Amino acid sequence: MTELRVERVADYWVARFQAMASPCEVLVDTDDPTVARRVGAIAYSEALRVERKFSRYRADGVVAQINAANGATVEVDEETAALLNYADACYRMSDGRFDVTSGILRRVWRFDGSARVPESQAVQALMPLIGWGRVSWQNPRLTLLPGMEIDLGGIGKEYAVDRAVGLIRAESPASVLVNFGGDLVSSGARRDGRAWQIGIENPAQLANANASRGGFELTRGAAATSGDTRRYLLKDGQRYPHILDARTGWPVEGAPKSITVLAPTCIEAGTLATLAMLQGVQAESFLDTQGVKYWCLR
Amino acid sequence: MQLKPKQTPSIRQALTVAACTLLSAPAVRAQGTWELDSSLLFYSEQDRVRAIEPVVRLKKQISEDEHFALQFVADSLTGASPSGAVPTTTPQTFTSPSGNSTYNTPANEIPLDPSFHDTRGAISFDWGRPLSRESRVVYQGHVSKEFDYLSTGVGATLSWDFNQRNTTLAAGASIGYDQVNPVGGAPVGLAPMPTFPTVKATSGDSDTKQLADLLLGVTQIISRTTLMQLNYTYGKESGYLTDPYKLVSVVDAGGNPVETLYEKRPDTRARNALYWRTLSAFGKDRLDFSYRYYWDDWGLRAHTADLRYRFEFGGGHYLEPQLRYSLQSQAADFYRPFLRQGESPQYASADYRLSEMTTSTIGLKYGVATRRDGEFAVRVGYMLQTGEDHPANAPGQLANQDLFPDTKALLFQVNYSLKF
């Protein structure tokens, strides 16, 4: 726990650290830096725990263990089972568009702003290894086909935010805003009854990332964003966003650059944003139908 | 107009349900991997021994099932302890264990050895790890040192869960090796204490003691709120089991001491104990009852019952009264509060701890949870130990002496634990 820094900003304290490949911060509505440090440490240790356990890069983690099984059945712990159940629900309600087995597409898709769109044969070659429907999931036993992998990256960060805020609530009455790389949750109203003020990044002015187009207030609830305005491919005037449809292995046509959704929990907000992205041109109408508050940047 | 009526709000509702299920999954919070448990005990007997005992235990949770812990204990004792000699109507003079000095006991008072002071330091470890999904092993070891005593030991306990983890069987074994270096050497047992400046006869500068213990236990979950544990332990000691500082008075027909001997105990001892414990939850409150029956081949028999009830007041506060009653119903065969002139027993000890006696303790503990799974607690207790004041066979003046003055002690303990 070396890289946890606290700093006073206006009338609150911020604890900052780096985890899950993102800058993370916890805004703590307090005048006491030790409270800020303690609350920040809870979020930091939870972020590290979730990252260690579920990152596919960590050889000692559960996901690495599942991916190394090569067709063998793996028995998972309760927490992993709960996440797999959630992934299973997302797969079903998105008709297969959202799929935790689609992570291997990153082998051919690199969203680095270039024009390197893969050959369709390269994508096609991976498709036999994608599909939650090919997986045997009987809690707590998971069996993948040899060569298949799972990647909980699409829900891990949001899950960590919800977990962290839950742990903080149990330990401290202070109002906090937990923000892991843009996925955030507010634990409740601030001391003076006000809400936390959230800004939205404006993709049209990326040179100035602090600029915000509009913004919103968050008292108790979550916001998550899908789509990354800096991660895309651009070829022949066509923009390929970061979001891939697991059924085809290709980016969703007509998807917005990014979508931010408000929901009671971060994982709901993140999943709704991703499911909306997967609707492509119908993203907004999907969100309207769901009756959630959102910002869509096209 | 909705472009895709198929996408109904049910997705959002289904997501809410899925998220709720996910986030209400068992809390596997990022627990501190280090645990510190510390306590400080003050113990004070009226006019006798006072002790201060700090304990620090540091535990590292290596994984969910594996831990390593180190414990440090320091004991500091001062005051006086009964030497075993009887009181008389006249002042008595004894030679100190070192043989370099004498001390006096006033008339009609139980002789106390005033040179009783000691500091003990102990280090122990325990390392627990899984052997399979259903079994574990815990290894232990300890070293403790006083200026005249060294104690070492190692052991291991295996346990197996079965019956859907409702039953746990445990088996353990440990061995120990102690070395005693009595001040002034180990006196020859039942030899008379010489008059200063004559030096006592010794059997050597040091002696040793070997110990072996076996444990068999079963823990059973009886219901959602009740758990029971039954343990049997068998222990064997051999070597120098005598207390080199304890004395036995030899009295004449008038009950007056004519001689003081060094005590002598057998050089083996086989101990047995049956232990039964029940833990029961009543709402948030908790009942903890245990009973122990002890017997050994020295003839000692003892029953000990301990009852604690924890009242939870919410917010991490609790109050826990404790009652403990111990009855040593049978003394060691060779326990003799005094010897008569002309007797020549093989073994004899006047150590009150080997006599029949009752010990009652009443205590109260208050604890409060601190942030991050810690606890702060204070405990106060009062202990009363009573024995046979006036043995029926006490001759002459001894019949009028209190041969087992009550021991009254106060204890106060502070405890603090945290995870980090």
Which residues have CB under 8 Å from B294's CB, separation 6+?
A: B271, B272, B273, B300, B301, B302, B303, B304
Strands (E), B198-267: 202-204, 207-221, 226-239, 247-251, 257-262
> How far, in Å, CA of B369 to CA of A170, rounded?
13
**Phi, psi dihedral angles at B243 (to 5 degrees):** -95, 110
Which residues have CB under 8 Å from B142's CB, separation 6+?
A: B122, B123, B124, B125, B151, B152, B153
> Beta partners for B349?
B335
Please answer whether residues B102 and B193 qualify as being in contact, where contact means their C-beta atoms are separated by less than 8 angstroms: no
Give Cα separations from B347 to B259, B335, B344, B391, B394 (angstroms). Answer: 16, 8, 9, 20, 20
Residue B407 in tokens: 């021991």
Q: What is the mean pLDDT of chain A?
A: 86
Q: What is the mean pLDDT of chain B?
A: 90
Q: Taking the mean position of all CA atoms in its chain, how far away is CA B75?
A: 13
Residue A170 pLDDT grade (very low, low, confident, very high; cuts 50, 70, 90): confident
- The predicted model gives A6-25 an average pLDDT of 91
3-state secondary structure of B391: coil
Q: Cβ of A86 and B3 within 8 Å?
A: no
Q: Cβ of B25 and A45 within 8 Å?
A: no
Which residues have CB under 8 Å from A138's CB, separation 6+?
A: none
The pLDDT value given to residue B5:
45
Range among A247-251, B87-91, B357-361 with highest mean pLDDT value: B357-361
Which residues have CB under 8 Å from B28's CB, separation 6+?
A: A77, A78, A79
The pLDDT value given to residue B304:
97
> How far, in Å, CA of B246 to CA of B111, rounded?
11
- The predicted model gives A227-237 an average pLDDT of 69
Percent residues over pLDDT 90 in chain B:
67
On the question of pLDDT at A242 being above 80, the answer is no
Which is more confidently placed, B248 or B102?
Answer: B248
> Beta partners for B306?
B290, B324
Cβ of residue B3 closer than 8 Å to a chain A Cβ:
yes
Residue B46 in tokens: 């009226």
Cβ of residue B7 closer than 8 Å to a chain A Cβ:
yes
Locus of tokens 């544990």: B229
The pLDDT value given to residue B22:
85
Residue A177 pLDDT grade (very low, low, confident, very high; cuts 50, 70, 90): very high
Residue B419 in tokens: 């995870």
The sign of the torsion formed by the CA atoms of B103, B109, B110, B114 equals negative
Cα A21-A26-A32 angle, rounded to 5 deg? 145
- The predicted model gives A89-97 an average pLDDT of 92
> How far, in Å, CA of B91 to CA of B111, rounded?
10
Domain ranges of chain B: 134-419
| Chain B residue nearest residue A273, CA to CA | B12
What is the tens place of the pLDDT at every residue in A182-191? 899 999 889 9
CATH 3.40.50.200 fits A5-55+154-297, yes or no: no
Locus of tokens 């998971």: A142
Cβ of residue A96 closer than 8 Å to a chain B Cβ:
no
Q: To 10 degrees, what angle do helices A78-93 and A33-54 make?
A: 70
Residue A1 pLDDT grade (very low, low, confident, very high; cuts 50, 70, 90): very low
What is the tens place of the pLDDT at every residue in A25-60? 999 999 988 899 999 999 999 999 999 889 887 777
Which is more confidently placed, B349 or B31?
Answer: B349
Q: What does DSSP say about strands B67-78 and B81-82: parallel, antiparallel, or unpaired?
A: unpaired
Size of interface A-B (CB pairs under 8 A): 88
On the question of pLDDT at B296 being above 90, the answer is yes
- The predicted model gives A81-90 an average pLDDT of 93
The pLDDT value given to residue A172:
87
The pLDDT value given to residue A60:
77
The pLDDT value given to residue B64:
63
B16 to chain A: which residues are within 8 Å by CB? Answer: 264, 268
Which of A1-10, B242-251, B394-403 is least confident? A1-10
Amino acid identity, position A8: R
Locus of tokens 């998972």: A76
Residue B373 pLDDT grade (very low, low, confident, very high; cuts 50, 70, 90): low
The pLDDT value given to residue B283:
78
On the question of pLDDT at B32 being above 90, the answer is no
The pLDDT value given to residue A258:
84
On the question of pLDDT at A205 being above 60, the answer is no
B18 to chain A: which residues are within 8 Å by CB? Answer: 85-86, 89-90
Cβ of residue B21 closer than 8 Å to a chain A Cβ:
yes
Range among A138-152, B158-172, B299-313 with highest mean pLDDT value: B299-313
What is the tens place of the pLDDT at every residue in B213-264? 999 999 998 887 888 999 999 999 999 999 999 999 999 999 999 999 999 9
Which is more confidently placed, B378 or B147?
Answer: B378
Q: Cβ of A82 and B22 within 8 Å?
A: yes
The pLDDT value given to residue A229:
62
Q: Cβ of B11 and A93 within 8 Å?
A: yes
Locus of tokens 């009242």: B311
In CATH, the number for domain A62-153 is 1.10.3980.10
The pLDDT value given to residue B4:
47
Residue A209 pLDDT grade (very low, low, confident, very high; cuts 50, 70, 90): very low
Q: Taking the mean position of all CA atoms in its chain, how far away is CA A39?
A: 22
- What's the residue count for chain A? 298
Select the CATH number that applies to the domain covering B134-419 from these four: 3.40.50, 3.40.1710, 2.40.160, 1.10.287. 2.40.160
Residue B25 pLDDT grade (very low, low, confident, very high; cuts 50, 70, 90): low
> How far, in Å, CA of B296 to CA of B234, rounded?
9
> Beta partners for A115?
none
Please answer whether residues A103 and A66 qualify as being in contact, where contact means their C-beta atoms are separated by less than 8 angstroms: no
Amino acid identity, position B82: P
pTM greater than 0.80 (yes/no) = no
Give Cα separations from B101 to B85, B87, B92 (angstroms). Answer: 18, 20, 14
The pLDDT value given to residue B99:
82
> Cβ-count burial of B24 within 10 angstroms (0-12 exposed, 13-18 middle, 19+ buried)?
exposed
- The predicted model gives A75-79 an average pLDDT of 88
Domain ranges of chain A: 5-55+154-297, 62-153
The pLDDT value given to residue A210:
32
- The predicted model gives A61-80 an average pLDDT of 89
The pLDDT value given to residue B216:
97
The pLDDT value given to residue A165:
94
Q: Cβ of A272 and B19 within 8 Å?
A: no
Count of CB atoms within 10 A of residue A250's CB?
15
Among candidates B7, B9, B15 on the partner chain, residue whose Cβ is nearest the Cβ of A271: B15
Q: Residue B283, by phi and psi: left (phi above 0), alpha (psi -120 to 50) or beta?
A: left
Please answer whether residues A270 and A227 qualify as being in contact, where contact means their C-beta atoms are separated by less than 8 angstroms: no
Which is more confidently placed, B66 or B408?
Answer: B408
Distance between B27 CA and the closest CA of chain A, angstroms? 8
On the question of pLDDT at A199 being above 70, the answer is yes
The pLDDT value given to residue A231:
64
Which of B84-98, B109-123, B250-264 is least confident? B109-123
> How far, in Å, CA of B161 to CA of B169, rounded?
7
Which is more confidently placed, A87 or A139?
Answer: A87
The pLDDT value given to residue A292:
87
The pLDDT value given to residue A206:
33
The pLDDT value given to residue B212:
97
Which of A13-17, B95-99, B120-124 is least confident? B95-99
